[in-house]
A and B are shown apart, each in its own frame.
Chain A
């Protein structure tokens, strides 16, 4: 199923399906190593819509909540 990064659970992995938003944002985040097709794992979440930390390969990045909402991932979940 397709959800955004903020809907993922800590520790869960998903394949980045789409990145919404402006070209600048997409390029910036792509340059940091998060791009379509890469596998993202949530390392930590913060309360009150704080930033999430995500692992992509051997890179870890912290992403603000609003930005994380624009990143869609394909995850496998039971049911």
Chain B
């Protein structure tokens, strides 16, 4: 028996938590063929039978309105068993999909999820009666604690289908209303603290205050976890285990050989420097695993918690207003916030934007005008010592570029940004198990999506060094750098290194004895002029060559212009 078990349900009904409880530890995230819509698949063992369990994207009905819903509907097949996950605290809406599924004659079991919530919400549901009304088995579950999941799995063998019924949506909604009022009893109860917070976080004033607080706390947490991992785990591991290996390799190849240059890179003061040597096996691996991965991990952890808490739609609603002026949808605030940490997950998260136009604008804005955490830290280190006013020039310029570029792209790109229409879920305590599973899948996704490309990029740049192409480029661009931006000729190498690591590039400006103005111009231009290699590769993968080239072209143009404007400004 090779049947599949498909989890169907409205968005925000705790479907993923039920999925985590049902499926084993090994889960795969895959793209539905021909789309960027992702779904998760795991295995479920009942007795000697092994089922493949699929967490289908959330859908309100079987008439699809978005790509995700379309995928959900396409996955529906009569050979499979459907678990319809229903939010027990909102059956008036959830049962519509249930009826659609039942009417189409699917073999199904209904999981009445969030069952524990019904008690303190003053909702009483007569399960036997509901089973009778629907004609399929109903099991109360709680994905968060795992209650009822065992029973749900047992019921799969008795999953039933009823005779298909043809009726209109209006009739179906009427039926939903009838069922809901006959099986459900509501009692009065008081608002809980979480529910009060729900309304406060939507209010334009208190919501904004809460948003600032949440973002602030999230960043604190991300930095704390990220830096903790780098300093206490990754750096020691690399120093103790990887370095000795690299030193042996370095001696083996001989420091002047071409292979050494490519794999190990340059020796800094006679020894390997994992951050600066720029070899594929040294800096290439180190930056990926020790410098970026910890931040990605902490980012995705915090993001996962915020997602499962149900906060993100609220943030999207608050930001929608401003984002629309930039040609984006409220949800684009998430790639922007993510990119302040690292642009790689930032650009990957533009997948949640539905339209290609939005994806392009969000990627273009993020790639250029949102500096990443490591870069911010270096700019503060370099420019900040001269005074806060210079920092505000750098970051203020980046912000102006973000806004102006957004407005212009919105104006001149064909199409409009779609209006927001999302459900605002109630706040819920996240389930640690599903948060961790999601984190794991995203980390694997990052390593597969970005790592090989970055290593390839480092390899290509090293080859370009060896073939003197970099020197050639430096000669071409030096007039631009000196005349247009007023930077010394030596800054060219920093700009070229910036392609590999923007933070290292900022650091390379430090020993050049720059004036304050040159520092301001240098740091700003470094942020704007070109995506770093990891970003470049992710852009290429997500948007394709054409759009990536467009974005890169935009970046070079804007950097040239902005650097020039700053250079002629009276900054002293």
Enumerate chain A interface residues (CB-CB to B < 8 A).
Answer: 24, 27-33, 35, 43-51, 53, 57-67
> Per-position contact with A for B223-245: 1 when CB-CB < 8 Å, else 0?
00000000000000000000000
User: How far apart sit A18 and B127, CA to CA, in the bound complex (Å)?
Assistant: 34
A53 in contact with B424 (CB, 8 Å): yes
The segment from B20-28, B86-94, B518-526 found at the interface with A is B86-94
Q: How many Å from the CB of A46 to the closest CB on chain B?
A: 5
Most buried by A among B320, B425, B426: B320
B202 in contact with A32 (CB, 8 Å): no
Contact A43 to B321, CB < 8 A, known contacts A31-B61, A33-B92, A66-B419: no
Most buried by A among B63, B90, B420: B420
A45 in contact with B204 (CB, 8 Å): yes
Q: How many Å from the CB of A75 to the closest CB on chain B?
A: 20
Contact A58 to B92, CB < 8 A, known contacts A30-B169, A46-B204, A53-B424: yes
**Does B421 reach chain A (CB closer than 8 Å)?**
yes
A29, A35, A43: the one contacting B202 at CB < 8 Å is A43
User: How far apart sit A16 and B96, CA to CA, in the bound complex (Å)?
Assistant: 19
A28 in contact with B65 (CB, 8 Å): yes
B320 in contact with A50 (CB, 8 Å): yes
A47, A50, A60, A66: the one contacting B424 at CB < 8 Å is A60
B63, B89, B93, B321: the one contacting A50 at CB < 8 Å is B321
B423 in contact with A51 (CB, 8 Å): no
User: How far apart sit A63 and B316, CA to CA, in the bound complex (Å)?
Assistant: 12
A53: chain B residues within 8 A (beta carbon): 202, 317, 424
- Tell me what chain B mostly uses at the interface: helix, strand, loop, or mixed: helix
B89: chain A residues within 8 A (beta carbon): 58
User: How far apart sit A72 and B90, CA to CA, in the bound complex (Å)?
Assistant: 24
B421 in contact with A63 (CB, 8 Å): yes
B65 in contact with A27 (CB, 8 Å): yes
Count A-B contacts at CB 8 Å.
Answer: 95
Q: List 6 A-B contacts (CB under 8 A).
A: A27-B169, A31-B65, A31-B96, A44-B202, A57-B92, A63-B419
Q: How many Å from the CB of A40 to the closest CB on chain B?
A: 13
B65 in contact with A44 (CB, 8 Å): no
Contact A59 to B420, CB < 8 A, known contacts A31-B65, A44-B203: no
B204 in contact with A67 (CB, 8 Å): no
- Chain A residue with Cβ nearest B318: A46
Number of interface residues of B (CB under 8 A): 32
B93: chain A residues within 8 A (beta carbon): 32-33, 57-59
**Does B422 reach chain A (CB closer than 8 Å)?**
yes
**Does B39 reach chain A (CB closer than 8 Å)?**
no
Q: How many Å from the CB of B56 to the closest CB on chain A?
A: 16
Q: How many Å from the CB of B370 to the closest CB on chain A?
A: 22
> Per-position contact with A for B312-324: 1 when CB-CB < 8 Å, else 0?
0100111011000
User: How far apart sit A57 and B68, CA to CA, in the bound complex (Å)?
Assistant: 25
A60: chain B residues within 8 A (beta carbon): 198, 202, 423-426
A62 in contact with B61 (CB, 8 Å): no
User: How far apart sit A46 and B314, CA to CA, in the bound complex (Å)?
Assistant: 12
A43: chain B residues within 8 A (beta carbon): 199, 202
- Chain A residue with Cβ nearest B201: A44
Enumerate chain B interface residues (CB-CB to A < 8 A).
Answer: 60-61, 63, 65, 89-90, 92-93, 96, 169, 173, 198-199, 202-204, 207, 313, 316-318, 320-321, 330, 419-426
B65 in contact with A48 (CB, 8 Å): no
A-B pairs with the 3 shortest C-beta distances?
A: A64-B419, A50-B321, A31-B60
User: How far apart sit A53 and B422, CA to CA, in the bound complex (Å)?
Assistant: 9
A27, A46, A47, A65: the one contacting B63 at CB < 8 Å is A27
User: How far apart sit A14 and B422, CA to CA, in the bound complex (Å)?
Assistant: 20
A32: chain B residues within 8 A (beta carbon): 60, 93, 421, 423
User: How far apart sit A27 and B61, CA to CA, in the bound complex (Å)?
Assistant: 9
B204 in contact with A59 (CB, 8 Å): no
Contact A44 to B419, CB < 8 A, known contacts A31-B60, A53-B424, A58-B90: no
- Chain B residue with Cβ nearest A49: B321
User: How far apart sit A65 and B320, CA to CA, in the bound complex (Å)?
Assistant: 11
User: How far apart sit A27 and B62, CA to CA, in the bound complex (Å)?
Assistant: 11
User: How far apart sit A48 and B323, CA to CA, in the bound complex (Å)?
Assistant: 12
A31: chain B residues within 8 A (beta carbon): 60-61, 63, 65, 96
Contact A63 to B169, CB < 8 A, known contacts A31-B96, A33-B92: no
User: How far apart sit A73 and B426, CA to CA, in the bound complex (Å)?
Assistant: 25
Q: How many Å from the CB of B200 to the closest CB on chain A?
A: 10
Q: How many Å from the CB of B196 to the closest CB on chain A?
A: 13
A61 in contact with B199 (CB, 8 Å): no
B207, B321, B424, B426: the one contacting A61 at CB < 8 Å is B424
A64 in contact with B423 (CB, 8 Å): no
User: How far apart sit A47 and B318, CA to CA, in the bound complex (Å)?
Assistant: 10
A51 in contact with B204 (CB, 8 Å): no
User: How far apart sit A59 and B94, CA to CA, in the bound complex (Å)?
Assistant: 10
